[in-house]
Structure 1
Amino acid sequence: MTADTSTRFREFKMPDVGEGLTEAEILKWYVQPGDTVTDGQVVCEVETAKAAVELPIPYDGVVHELRYEEGTTVDVGASIITVDVAPGTGDAPAAPAPAAEPEAEPAAPAAATRTPVLVGYGVAEASTKRRPRRGGPERQEPAVNGHAAPVAEPVAPEPVAPVAAGRPLAKPPVRKLAKDLGVDLATIIPTGPDGIITRDDIRAATAAPAPVTAVAPPAAAAAVAEPAPAVQPGARETRVPVKGVRKATAAAMVGSAFSAPHVTEFITVDVTRTMKLVEELKSDKDMAGLRVNPLLLVAKAFLVAVKRHPDVNASWDEARQEIVLKHYVNLGIAAATPRGLLVPNIKDAHDKTLPQLAQSLGELVSTAREGRTTPAAMQGGTVTITNVGVFGVDTGTPILNPGESAILAVGAIKPQPWVHKGKVKPRQVTTLALSFDHRLVDGELGSKVLADIAAVLEQPKRLITWG
């Protein structure tokens, strides 16, 4: 008996893997037609504007067709792979060729159909229950703990009708504007009729609290850019497509630079004692197995300064014309990766001991460099550190991440002549630069924060007396 082809061949559609994103690029296929797959097996890796994500298949069967080649950008909701869930029961029908730009709305999944979610969470049953909307600017605690939450059922962008998984309501042009500006629709407070997000809401949110999209300081961005395509012999120009992380980074940098009034202050400090403490901590039994470096103590010094001056840890809500004071610190750390500069953050860094901070810092950096950073890990940051010193740079004027109040650039640590106890001696010296949003942080507050960071690094015993 020949199996019903309507139930025999299952279409796996591109899910929304990043909070309202409308497309993703297929980086790599892990299977080919004819391969046997099982429920939950990773079949491909895709890159969104926020991160690279592995997609598990929600069926058992044999791969019938891969609908797109590697390197192709695919709309959310488009079928990317066909699976024969009843192989050997009849001839396969000819599969239709995928459209370059699918326009038709995909059929809603049946109530019992399982849909793919982020790697590490397997598959989930489809549901018609609305997902609770994330908290707005007044939230007091972050909603995530460094791990991606299960995502909504895959659906294509719809005009304005409510959808099953509780996606924010917005028309396709508004979704595109949000994507171009690096704004997460889930964080927007809608002002349109029936809770629809408008263009004005998106523009207002470019200065309001928003999920972090990696914003590269100018000095560091070039050093971690994606590998350029091979240059053809005799060519005078080479064009590089702007997409994925780089496209989101560019949009976020422009949005931040032209919405938040930046002020940058600098200070040069003797960190000789900090460097000695780093060496001592490396042999401390409580730090065994942990990566100890100057960045760890810089991060701790920043957290101490924020504790002493909590008003610096805030964001600007343009829509409500309010300053939102954060009672937690999600500390962003700029990390160079093959796909560009990402800024994941350490959730609730203010509550961590030095060993816990070292462990979180090591995991964050290694995960980013391996390309496994999730979108959730880059959302909700409050302040950020970018270590331009690893590139041999003395300092820079870093651009704020959208929705954050301050970003600290750490320059190269070098031996320099320094007046110490009345004599000129060679000392380990670095330059710090703090950029801050002048709507939130005035010159006095910014200066006090930067001075406190420098004071801790100059006399690290203040980690005990001030911390």
Structure 2
Amino acid sequence: MTDTATSARTPSGGSPVREFKMPDVGEGLTEAEILKWYVAPGDTVTDGQVVCEVETAKAAVELPIPFDGVVHELRFPEGTTVDVGQVIITVDVAPGSAPAEAEAAAVPSQAEQQPAPQAGEQAAPPARQPVLVGYGVAESSTKRRPRKGAATAAPEAAPAGTYYAPPADAAPQEPVNGHSTARPLAKPPVRKLAKDLGIDLTTVRPTGPDGIITREDVHAAAEPAVRATEPVPAAEPAAGTTAATTAATTLGGEARETRIPVKGVRKATAQAMVDSAFSAPHVTEFVTLDVTRTMKLVAELKGDRAFEGLRVNPLLLIAKALLVAIKRNPEVNAAWDEANQEIVQKHYVNLGIAAATPRGLLVPNIKDAHAKTLPELAGALGELVSTAREGRTSPAAMQGGTVTITNVGVFGVDTGTPILNPGESAILAVGAIKLQPWVHKGKVKPRQVTTLALSFDHRLVDGELGSKVLADVAAILEQPKRLITWA
């Protein structure tokens, strides 16, 4: 975000009003949807206080206000998609607050250090950190003032990705201006679920550690309302839908159609897949193979001290096999530069892992995966998956990928024809691993068998190169000792 994110004006006969504009919280994003407001007109806000959560095409992001004052106006309601640069909130500036030119940007586009202040400017607070995907505001030595009318003040810093709430046995607090004076402790996916179900988190009794509200708590709070208002239990809305934006056509009390607005991650994914499918000539090749030895190695590694505390599964060895295959066939790791009509060969591998999340399909990638040891790769995979499931994937984690793995086998599917992630040269689909009859050493025996599918950009990768890569991956998984001899 640039300095244009805030501006000031002074109404005639009134105190100065500061404007906070929608920042570019990623690289080149043009819009974001306001998911939730945490303040209301009349509330007191302080520098660094999170005022709303927005969803971009890449991630959910919390926005802190960069100055002190009293909320004057919220320009857009929840669920509105706002262009970058539009004013989203105005604040009556408190007397003695810092001048406009002295304030730092509220949310940098990436997790990077802020530039040194110019002459005449005040330095930004040292504890100010980028706030991306529910990470929360970093701890600061300065205390936040309580919101207007609050009975108790929030602690100086809440756990990452959560909001302050009193203990479960504390007396409930009265709302101010229709909003609770406390922020319930809940992770972003849980807050999203509560919004979809129309549940006020301040009314939910937490059962998680340290008073954190869980998904089960939200569902438990929703059950009485469902029983009281619906003769038949309603299915949970699909990912990307909200109660406020889903319209149904009914006949005799039964829904016959449901219209789901396409926006956020779902919209970005759809556009990216269309662009990829109709700009890059896709070719997909398949191979069915015996992975019994790989499955035995997975079982052995689980008991290895080097992998203590790490998640070891077949995907780990499949990822390593692909990295070795790329090392043996480096031309596959490239990109097509349409503007300059060049093939850009990458001497590093940022390995993307397709992840199904409550917000839709995300493809974060492991930076410099080629340089990691097997335990390091296991740790990176575990962190990537857990971060994606918790809704904390940052925009930076989804940029710069070179090749991708999509594990459709977890859904019981044999394989598929995956579409390339835009800007990448290849994607490997992994099918379900099943016990099947297989000819082994001249006899039919039950063996662990799977099918791999490799899609590649035929402008960059011809049939020979694509076949070599897929054959190498298969050979390693059939004989995993090749991880040593070929690496």
Counterpart of 2:104 in structure 1 is 114
Native 8 Å contact 1:264 1:434 kept in 2: yes
Specify the code of the residue in structure 2 equivalent to 1:281: L
Give the whole-Å Cα distance in 1 for the aligned partners of 2:434 and 2:111. Answer: 45
In the alignment, structure 2 segments of 5+ residues that lack a partner are 1-9, 119-131, 134-237
> Deviation digits for residues 63-88 of structure 1, max 9, x if unmatched?
33322211111111122122333179
1:125/1:444 CA distance change after superposition, 3 Å: closer
1:123/1:460 CA distance change after superposition, 3 Å: closer
Residue 295 of structure 2 is aligned to residue 305 of structure 1: no
> Deviation digits for residues 377-432 of structure 1, max 9, x if unmatched?
11111100000111111000000111111000000111111111111111111100
Matches within 5 A, 1:379-418: 379-418=399-438
Native 8 Å contact 1:290 1:362 kept in 2: yes
Report the identity percentage: 81
Counterpart of 2:171 in structure 1 is none
Counterpart of 1:182 in structure 2 is none
Cα offset for 1:280?
Answer: 1.4
1:119/1:403 CA distance change after superposition, 3 Å: closer
Native 8 Å contact 1:345 1:377 kept in 2: yes
Give the whole-Å Cα distance in 2 for the aligned partners of 1:282 and 1:65. Answer: 56
Cα offset for 1:373?
Answer: 1.4
Specify the code of the residue in structure 2 equivalent to 1:113: E
> Deviation digits for residues 266-290 of structure 1, max 9, x if unmatched?
0011111111111111121111111
Native 8 Å contact 1:415 1:426 kept in 2: yes
Native 8 Å contact 1:39 1:58 kept in 2: yes
SS in 1 for 2:105: strand
Native 8 Å contact 2:241 2:260 kept in 1: no
- Could you tell me the TM-score, scaled by structure 2's length? 0.68
Give the whole-Å Cα distance in 2 for the aligned partners of 1:414 and 1:277. Answer: 16
Counterpart of 1:266 in structure 2 is 286
Cα offset for 1:37?
Answer: 2.7
> Deviation digits for residues 251-270 of structure 1, max 9, x if unmatched?
11111111111100000111
Matches within 5 A, 1:62-77: 62-77=70-85
- Could you tell me the TM-score, scaled by structure 1's length? 0.71
Counterpart of 1:442 in structure 2 is 462
Give the whole-Å Cα distance in 2 for the aligned partners of 1:362 and 1:118. Answer: 27
> Deviation digits for residues 355-375 of structure 1, max 9, x if unmatched?
111111111111112222122
Residue 58 of structure 2 is aligned to residue 45 of structure 1: no
1:120/1:319 CA distance change after superposition, 3 Å: closer
Specify the code of the residue in structure 2 equivalent to 1:117: V
Matches within 5 A, 1:288-437: 288-437=308-457
Native 8 Å contact 2:26 2:109 kept in 1: no
Cα offset for 1:61?
Answer: 2.9
> Deviation digits for residues 35-74 of structure 1, max 9, x if unmatched?
3332222221111122211111111233333222111111
Residue 73 of structure 2 is aligned to residue 60 of structure 1: no
1:311/1:7 CA distance change after superposition, 3 Å: farther
Count of paired positions: 355
Native 8 Å contact 1:54 1:118 kept in 2: no
Residue 240 of structure 2 is aligned to residue 226 of structure 1: yes
> Deviation digits for residues 213-265 of structure 1, max 9, x if unmatched?
xxxxxxxxxxx853584755334322111111111111111111111111000
Higher relative contact order (CA 8 A, sep 6+): 1
Cα offset for 1:113?
Answer: 3.3
Specify the code of the residue in structure 1 equivalent to 2:392: R
Counterpart of 1:94 in structure 2 is none
Counterpart of 1:83 in structure 2 is 91
1:120/1:34 CA distance change after superposition, 3 Å: farther
Counterpart of 1:459 in structure 2 is 479
1:86/1:266 CA distance change after superposition, 3 Å: same
